[in-house]
């Protein structure tokens, strides 16, 4: 396939399809992308992007990697690493050089490579790849501290490792007489100064430019993208791959600026990054030659064992001594270190150049790099989640619900969910409201949920759903709109949305359909209506369905006013009744419903002839909210 337009189309469709399948079947996306690239390239020979793209291949890959690293930098806020700042600094400044030195020695004595190739390979394998770490962290739901450690290390180590490799390569050229030593020293220092200072200046300048209204909203993202590409290219004129450090520093600088439009910019960049990661992994893997892969011998297995289970653990455990991390956190971080795009891209760039200088094992360096990348993606991709579960470093093993607004209704709902072992948290900025929730032994967060502090201190990875239940319709809609992008638009619900207003209220009183969340009840109920129900004695019940007592029996034994809110499947998945395409609960599901008091239900069943007076008295003696068993259900049918 040599038609570039068709090749790009196939790569794009295959990349996004791999991302979707990975999400659908809960497997690491990087593993699927790696498999697709191998299938398109070395296995079938369907495409060879390096040869087909020609001279455009290297600058396109370099630019794409720069954009990915900048987007990663945008996620790094210094407030997130208040507890791990010491550990992060040590991992970057101490562990990185240790990995470089130990890997170079291993490559020379175990891999039988020449010293120049070994040193460059050691530098390349310092990187841990944000393109791999980010999807894994999104899937693994780690606790904040180890997740922050892995994310910061991956983003900061990528440009650092690339610079190590560039400097090693340039030193080799100096030793061969191809470059002047003084010129290399001056260029390296100048490139580092330009990279760090230029990244900070560019980030602050753009932040001020946007804050002062010098650019309209629709141009902010394009301007940002253009500046990132330009800064990367300009710094690379001084020293190859130094632009990666520039854009990383620029991203971190902007992430810590008080920029109102940062969330929108981050979402735009995240969308581009998903596209680039999907395409790049396929392109880089498809560019591998079958002969290079076949050149791998038994030495690579010993090399992999040393890199994964000896070098990395030693470097992490030594560098984090006294850094305030628990042993299990250090153990997890010492194992999880997948390599990614930067390692493969830079190895391919230097491998070809070293081959031209007559180093016979330059191609083996590319093969070894690919072997490490493939092995770490597969091993770490499939073991991160089980290992985190064994070490008890996952946030939770089941989906949780975040409730905004503490009221008698939301507290009662939280208590019922807690009784079903569903993680639940109530957030409110009113201390008296929060106090009532605390007295009810419900986990709470006191503060403004829309504040910057909430986004940094409240771990949203714990929650798969959110309910906005304050007495302000507009505020509920604002909260759902803000959190919908992170939790999922189909997983945010609110009491009383505009869709629940009477038709006579007119279009001017109806919110735009793109704002707010899904009404919690069908048909929608306002906050005042729900409050009145609570005053009238309505309560929450949890009812488990069975083969004998199904959804029909559930409705038959309850008054028409009863409102099913959600049901919990045996797999612990939570389905909201108001969600689109929710369907109906089945045997084994537990329904959480909101309905009239039991006395009222009994009277209604008596009127309908489904319950005798004696049975009614017996039922009233039971505790409100008791779970209905199959035997009880048969007695009331």
Is pLDDT above 50 for 499?
Answer: no
Do the domain assignments include residue 27? no
DSSP letter string, 399-416:
-EEEEES--HHHHHHHHH
pLDDT, position 1: 64
pLDDT, position 350: 77
What angle, 0 to 180 degrees and rounded to 10, lies between the N-to-C axes of helices 144-175 and 181-211? 140
DSSP, collapsed to helix, strand or coil, labels residue 563 as strand
Q: Considering its fold, how many domains does the chain have in total? A: 3
pLDDT, position 217: 83
Residues 265 and 158 in one domain: yes
pLDDT, position 467: 93
Q: Under 8 Å CB-to-CB from 620, ≥6 apart: which residues?
A: 598, 599, 602
Tokens of 562: 């009863």
DSSP, collapsed to helix, strand or coil, labels residue 575 as strand
pLDDT, position 53: 86
Query: Do residues 285 and 41 lie in contact, with contact meaning Cβ atoms separated by under 8 Å?
Result: yes
Angle at 241 between CA 238 and CA 129, to 5 degrees: 160
Tokens of 189: 């220092």
Residues 178 and 295 in one domain: yes
Residues recorded for the chain: 637
Mean pLDDT across the chain:
81
Residue 166's φ and ψ, nearest 5 degrees, are -65, -45
Q: Each residue of 177-202: pLDDT tens digit?
A: 665 667 777 888 888 888 889 999 99
Is pLDDT above 80 for 26?
Answer: no
CA distance 532 to 516: 23
DSSP letter string, 419-485:
HTT--EEEEES-HHHHHHHHHTT--EEES-TTSHHHHHHS-GGGEEEEEE-SS-HHHHHHHHHHHHH
Do the domain assignments include residue 532? no
What are the E-state strand segments in 491-604?
492-494, 518-519, 539-544, 563-568, 574-576, 590-595
Closest to 349 measured CA to CA, from 154, 65, 157: 65
Closest to 101 measured CA to CA, from 275, 307, 257: 307
Do the domain assignments include residue 2? no
Q: Each residue of 81-124: pLDDT tens digit?
A: 665 678 888 888 899 899 999 999 999 999 888 888 899 899 88
Residues 211 and 322 in one domain: yes
**C-alpha torsion sign, points 240, 54, 275, 344:** negative
Residues 549 and 477 in one domain: no
Residues 445 and 385 in one domain: no
CA distance 403 to 466: 6
Confidence of residue 637 (pLDDT cuts 50, 70, 90): very low
Residues 384 and 429 in one domain: no
Tokens of 523: 């048909």
DSSP, collapsed to helix, strand or coil, labels residue 542 as strand
In this prediction, residues 511-538 reach a mean pLDDT of 82
* 89: containing domain: 59-390
Residues 73 and 192 in one domain: yes
Confidence of residue 619 (pLDDT cuts 50, 70, 90): low
Is pLDDT above 80 for 352?
Answer: no
CA distance 76 to 535: 47
Residues 217 and 297 in one domain: yes
Instruction: Among 340, 356, 390, identify where a domain stops.
Output: 390
pLDDT, position 504: 42
Do the domain assignments include residue 447? yes
Instruction: Among 390, 423, 445, identify where a domain stops.
Output: 390
Beta bridge mates, 310: none
Query: Do residues 588 and 545 lie in contact, with contact meaning Cβ atoms separated by under 8 Å?
Result: yes
DSSP letter string, 77-141:
-GGGGTTTHHHHHHIIIIIHHHHHHHHHHHHHHTS---HHHHHHHHHHTT---HHHHHHHHHHH-
Please provide the distance, in angstroms rounded to a whole number, between the alpha carbons at the two ends of the chain: 68
Output the domain CATH number for residue 634. 3.30.70
CA distance 480 to 497: 11
Tell me which range, 66-75, 353-362, 371-380, 614-623, is most confidently predicted by mean pLDDT: 371-380
Residues 130 and 214 in one domain: yes
Confidence of residue 464 (pLDDT cuts 50, 70, 90): confident
pLDDT, position 456: 63
Place of tokens 């087909």: 52
DSSP, collapsed to helix, strand or coil, labels residue 619 as helix
What angle, 0 to 180 degrees and rounded to 10, lies between the N-to-C axes of helices 312-319 and 327-335? 140
Do the domain assignments include residue 462? yes
Is pLDDT above 60 for 368?
Answer: yes
Angle at 171 between CA 165 and CA 173, to 5 degrees: 105
Tokens of 569: 């499947």
**C-alpha torsion sign, points 205, 206, 209, 211:** negative
Output the domain CATH number for residue 96. 1.20.1530.20
CA distance 103 to 122: 5
Tell me which range, 352-356, 466-470, 602-606, is most confidently predicted by mean pLDDT: 466-470
Q: Each residue of 118-174: pLDDT tens digit?
A: 998 998 898 887 777 877 777 777 887 888 888 888 888 878 887 888 888 888 878
Place of tokens 């101490």: 94
pLDDT, position 34: 84
DSSP letter string, 345-397:
HHHHHHHHHHHHTT-TTHHHHHHHHHHHHHHHHHHHHHHHHHHHHHTT-BS-S
In this prediction, residues 507-511 reach a mean pLDDT of 52
Residues 546 and 580 in one domain: yes
Residues 384 and 401 in one domain: no
Query: Do residues 242 and 191 lie in contact, with contact meaning Cβ atoms separated by under 8 Å?
Result: yes
Confidence of residue 317 (pLDDT cuts 50, 70, 90): very high
Closest to 484 measured CA to CA, from 471, 499, 467, 502: 467
Peptide linkage before 262 cis (omega within 30 of 0): no
pLDDT, position 155: 80
Residues 282 and 408 in one domain: no
DSSP letter string, 477-509:
HHHHHHHHHHH-GGGEEESS-GGGS-GGG-GGG
pLDDT, position 84: 64
Instruction: Among 459, 492, 520, identify where a domain stops.
Output: 520
Angle at 461 between CA 16 and CA 441, to 5 degrees: 155
Do the domain assignments include residue 13? no
CA distance 456 to 447: 12
Do the domain assignments include residue 470? yes
Do the domain assignments include residue 93? yes
pLDDT, position 555: 86
Output the domain CATH number for residue 421. 3.40.50.720
Residue 540's φ and ψ, nearest 5 degrees, are -95, 145
């Amino acid at each position: 396939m040599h038609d570039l337009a068709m090749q790009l189309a196939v790569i794009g469709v295959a990349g996004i399809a791999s991302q979707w399948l990975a999400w659908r079947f809960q497997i690491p996306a990087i593993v699927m992308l790696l498999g697709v690239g191998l299938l398109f390239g070395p296995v079938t020979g369907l495409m060879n992007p390096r040869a087909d793209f020609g001279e455009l291949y290297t600058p396109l890959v370099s630019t794409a990697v720069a954009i990915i690293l900048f987007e990663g930098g945008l996620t790094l806020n210094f407030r997130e690493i208040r507890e791990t700042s010491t550990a992060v600094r040590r991992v970057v400044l101490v562990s990185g050089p240790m990995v470089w030195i130990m890997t170079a020695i291993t490559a020379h004595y175990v891999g039988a490579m020449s010293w120049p190739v070994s040193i460059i390979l050691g530098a390349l394998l310092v990187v841990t790849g944000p393109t791999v770490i980010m999807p894994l962290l999104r899937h693994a739901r780690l606790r904040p501290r180890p997740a922050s450690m892995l994310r910061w290390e991956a983003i900061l180590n990528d440009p650092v490792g690339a610079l190590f490799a560039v400097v090693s390569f340039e030193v080799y050229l100096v030793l061969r007489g191809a470059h002047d030593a003084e010129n290399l020293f001056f260029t390296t220092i100048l490139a580092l100064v330009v990279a760090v200072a230029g990244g900070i200046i560019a980030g602050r300048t753009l932040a001020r430019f946007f804050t002062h209204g010098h650019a309209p909203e629709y141009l902010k993202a394009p301007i940002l993208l253009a500046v990132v590409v330009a800064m990367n290219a300009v710094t690379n004129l001084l020293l190859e791959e130094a632009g990666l450090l520039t854009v990383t520093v620029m991203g971190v600088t902007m992430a810590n600026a008080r920029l109102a439009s940062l969330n929108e910019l981050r979402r735009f960049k995240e969308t581009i990054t998903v596209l680039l990661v999907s395409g790049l992994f396929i392109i880089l893997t498809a560019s591998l030659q079958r002969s290079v892969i076949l050149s791998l011998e038994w030495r690579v297995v010993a090399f992999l064992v040393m890199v994964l289970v000896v070098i990395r653990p030693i470097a992490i455990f030594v560098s984090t001594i006294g850094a305030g991390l628990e042993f299990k956190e250090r153990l997890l971080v010492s194992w999880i270190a997948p390599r990614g795009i930067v390692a493969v891209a830079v190895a391919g760039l230097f491998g070809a150049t070293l081959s031209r200088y007559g180093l016979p094992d330059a191609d083996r360096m590319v093969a070894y790099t690919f072997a490490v990348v493939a092995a770490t993606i597969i091993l770490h991709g499939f073991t991160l989640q089980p290992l985190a579960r064994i070490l008890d470093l996952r946030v939770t093993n089941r989906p949780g619900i975040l409730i905004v607004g503490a009221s008698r209704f939301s507290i009662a709902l939280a208590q019922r969910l807690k009784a079903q072992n569903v993680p639940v948290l109530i957030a409110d900025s009113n201390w008296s409201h929060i106090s009532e929730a605390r007295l009810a032994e419900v986990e709470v967060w006191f503060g403004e949920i829309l504040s910057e502090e909430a986004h940094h201190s409240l771990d949203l990875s714990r929650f798969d759903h959110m309910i906005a239940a304050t007495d302000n319709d507009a505020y509920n809609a604002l909260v759902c709109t803000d959190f919908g992008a992170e939790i999922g638009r189909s997983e945010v619900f609110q009491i009383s949305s505009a869709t629940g207003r009477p038709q006579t209220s007119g279009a001017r009183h109806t919110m735009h359909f793109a704002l707010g969340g899904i009404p919690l009840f069908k048909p929608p109920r306002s906050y005042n209506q729900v409050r009145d129900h609570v005053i009238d004695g309505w309560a929450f019940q949890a009812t488990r369905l069975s083969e004998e007592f199904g959804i029909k029996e559930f409705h038959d034994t309850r008054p028409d006013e009863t409102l099913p809110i959600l049901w919990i499947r045996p797999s612990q998945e939570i389905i909201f009744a108001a969600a689109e395409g929710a369907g109906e609960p089945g045997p084994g599901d537990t329904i959480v419903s909101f309905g009239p008091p039991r006395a009222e239900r009994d009277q209604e069943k008596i009127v309908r002839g489904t319950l005798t007076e004696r049975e009614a008295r017996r039922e009233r003696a039971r505790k409100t909210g008791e779970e209905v068993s199959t035997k009880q259900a048969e007695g009331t049918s």
